[in-house]
Amino acid sequence: MNSRLFRILTIILSFFFLTGFVPFFSLVGPSVTALTSGNIYKASAQFIVNQHIEKETGKNSFALIKDALLNEEIDKKIEKNSFDEDFRQLVETRIKITRQKLDNQNLQKILKKRIEVTRSILNINNTNQ
């Protein structure tokens, strides 16, 4: 009699777990809570909340939390990349401005030098004539 009951229970349990007929994780979580804490109210509240979340979002609570954390990480990366891009553009514009200033200073030095050279040549030419 015991072996017959054991076979029947084994077939029924294998049907539930192998076909995915029972949402396994939504039952395991509250049952573990009930067994460890002994609080049936807490376990039933957890089961009801999980069922409500799954009904609203179509995802169980684990998948919902995983997606939320993944989205936060992606948002942080996007924010960091946009900051890096803004910083790079700022540095590039400052480099361009500095190069223009240096080029202007170099041109002014070259012009002063040429003016001095031409004045010295003109002065030499004026004294010779």
Taking the complete model, does pTM exceed 0.95, yes or no? no
Whether residues 90 and 124 fall in one domain = yes
| pLDDT of the residue at 96 | 92
pLDDT-derived band at 7, boundaries 50, 70, 90: confident
* Residue percentage of the chain with pLDDT more than 70: 78
Whether residues 49 and 88 fall in one domain = no
* pLDDT single digits (tens) 67-115: 888 888 888 877 777 777 888 888 899 999 998 988 888 888 888 888 8
For residues 13 and 117, the model is more confident at 117
Whether residues 51 and 80 fall in one domain = no
* pLDDT single digits (tens) 32-53: 766 776 677 777 777 788 888 7
Whether residues 46 and 82 fall in one domain = no
User: What single string gives the DSSP state of each residue in 66-124?
Assistant: HHHHHHHHHHHHHHHHHHHHHHHHHHHHHHHHHHHHHHHHHHHHHHHHHHHHHHHHHHH
Report yes or no on 82 lying in a domain: yes
Whether residues 81 and 129 fall in one domain = yes
Containing structural domain, residue 2: 1-58
